[in-house]
A and B are shown apart, each in its own frame.
Chain A
């Protein structure tokens, strides 16, 4: 199903991911400002509010960096840089329409392996500055990882099972008629939860929680902070984007061209995630872990069983 892409797509991919992330951040900023200061009076004010994250980017670019004593700068830097790098690497299997940068036969496992780099990244970022609260943030993300990763793996395995292939292109092709989200609702729901969890954002923002003075990102300043927090948005965009080929039929849809359908669906998923942040309080991991292991794991396993039976009888 997938077609070859020109070599310059390697450059386009990060740029495209960053642009989608900037739009999402702007949307989120508008909603936040509306919640604090009421509805915007004019279109100009709306634009001003949407540009707030960009002003923050400029501020971070010129902010002098802050150092801590006996910091493990090398490991901390690796952790910070690893967040956007993992996001872009995971995005390599993300198809726009039916074309992705690369469509390996084990694309789904590749995506899973790359987003798992976030485990190392966040812990290293927390470890780097030699600061107790930031290390607590790193530990919180590992606990969160243990809670979300297992249901998440079962959810994406279910999608692969439905298509009888680990190749993202094949999974899209298998959804020509019926979207997987329709007959695998549990897996899709779990996937959306873990999309927020793996980008440690919204209700799963405990690793960067205010109660730990900013957690893993506490000591980050200047460009480091920009790369880390920007990378977090990239992770979210990529995980939201991958939900489209896995569960929402990829580029399939009437009238519009395939790439437009991908964009529309990605935008809807991102909007749902941004809304989810507003609807759910921050979850503490000792609570979510029990829910994940006692409810989500059996639920996703049952979902996989149902899908397996359907596939066998097809």
Chain B
């Protein structure tokens, strides 16, 4: 299925090209090539190693809750 998962940006490299995001308790490195103007503490949707777009914290929480209801994330 064509899912992208919301995650919080916790660090961005010096060039602004890659970020570290927090997905639950797991840290993951992703590319920021597809999005503009991402800052630390923003929420982004991630898919196969890329941030697809920014979402609000509320939207990220609602989406994660739906994934949790479906049993995809805990």
Q: Do A and B bind each other?
A: no
Interface residues of B (CB under 8 A from A): none
